[in-house]
Amino acid sequence: MSKYIDIAVNLIGSALEKNIQDVIQDAAAQGVSPLIVIGSELNESEQAIACCQQYSQQLFCTAGVHPHHASEWQADSSERIKRLAAFPQVVAIGECGLDYNRDFSPRPMQRQAFEAQLALAVELQMPVLMHERDAHEDFLAILKEYRHSLPGALLHCFTGNRQSMQAYLELDLHLGITGWVCDERRGKELAELVIDIPDNRILIETDSPYLLPRSMRPKPKSSKNKPQYLPYIAEYIADLRGQNHQEFAQRVYENSVNFFGLNQTDDLSIKRSGSYEAP
């Protein structure tokens, strides 16, 4: 069975939280383990760490402030994230970035929180997991100031156009692809672009419980997306790219291990390495 790492799971505060053990076990039964749990604000990041401690080596997480929560950014937020990042369960700073689609937080505050988290990732030499929606120009301008000093940068749930994809690849970003690519309506452009993402820059994710792959047959009874569906997404993308399913799965698994600085121990368990090195 192929191995997978779901690089973005919204486990805390979502419809998945009440059945965490089942979510983990069902995913592992399909070869999907560990899961990277997203921290989208500071309290949620703390809860994610506690959850990861309970399910050691099955869960890792990020710590950060999503642009939707940028209005909650305080003078001590960077220090709080820094303390959280010291926990071995935390493998990236984020989810941070810009979202001009919903504008749940004022744009100046989004930019402030984004820059502060990029600076922190540089200081700690940790990879950063990012979000961008309808904010390409500002996002790119800010990121360019820090990218040369970041050990790794991932734009998760990429759904942009060819121009933005090329700009991000020129900055050596990793791009996370979700089940959005399986939607024959909204994902048509992404299905064309995913072919041209270099083998060493592509990662896969469910972003569950959101973005259930529209093309799944039989269609799951629940509308909730789950990490256990990641192999379906991987095979769909491999077919688009004309690649062998197992070889593609192995490549994106290795990309994920390298990006998040994870080590596989002799007993086949996964742990965070002591230091991060960009692939």
DSSP string, 141-163: HHHHTTGGG-S-EEE-S----HH
* Residue-wise pLDDT tens digits, 87-121: 999 999 999 999 999 999 999 999 999 999 999 99
Q: What are the beta bridge partners of residue 202? A: 175
Residue 174 known to bind ligand: no
Give the pTM.
0.94
Task: Give the number of other Cβ atoms within 10 Å of residue 38's Cβ.
Answer: 29
Q: What is the pLDDT of residue 273?
A: 58
Q: What is the pLDDT of residue 34?
A: 98
For the record, the structure tokens of 215 come out as 């093309």
Q: What are the beta bridge partners of residue 32? A: 4
Please name the fold of domain 4-270: TIM Barrel (3.20.20)
Residue 207 known to bind ligand: yes
Q: What is the pLDDT of residue 167?
A: 98
208 DSSP 8-state letter: B
For the record, the structure tokens of 60 come out as 């890792």
Measured between alpha carbons, how far is 180 from 187 in angstroms, rounded to an integer? Answer: 5
Q: What is the pLDDT of residue 276?
A: 42
Measured between alpha carbons, how far is 220 from 207 in angstroms, rounded to an integer? Answer: 16
Q: What are the beta bridge partners of residue 153? A: 128
Q: What are the residue ranges in the chain where pLDDT is below 70? A: 264-279
Q: What is the pLDDT of residue 274?
A: 53
Q: What is the pLDDT of residue 24?
A: 98
Phi, psi (rounded to 5 degrees) for 65 = -130, 115
- Mention every residue, 6+ apart, whose C-beta is less than 8 A from residue 166: none
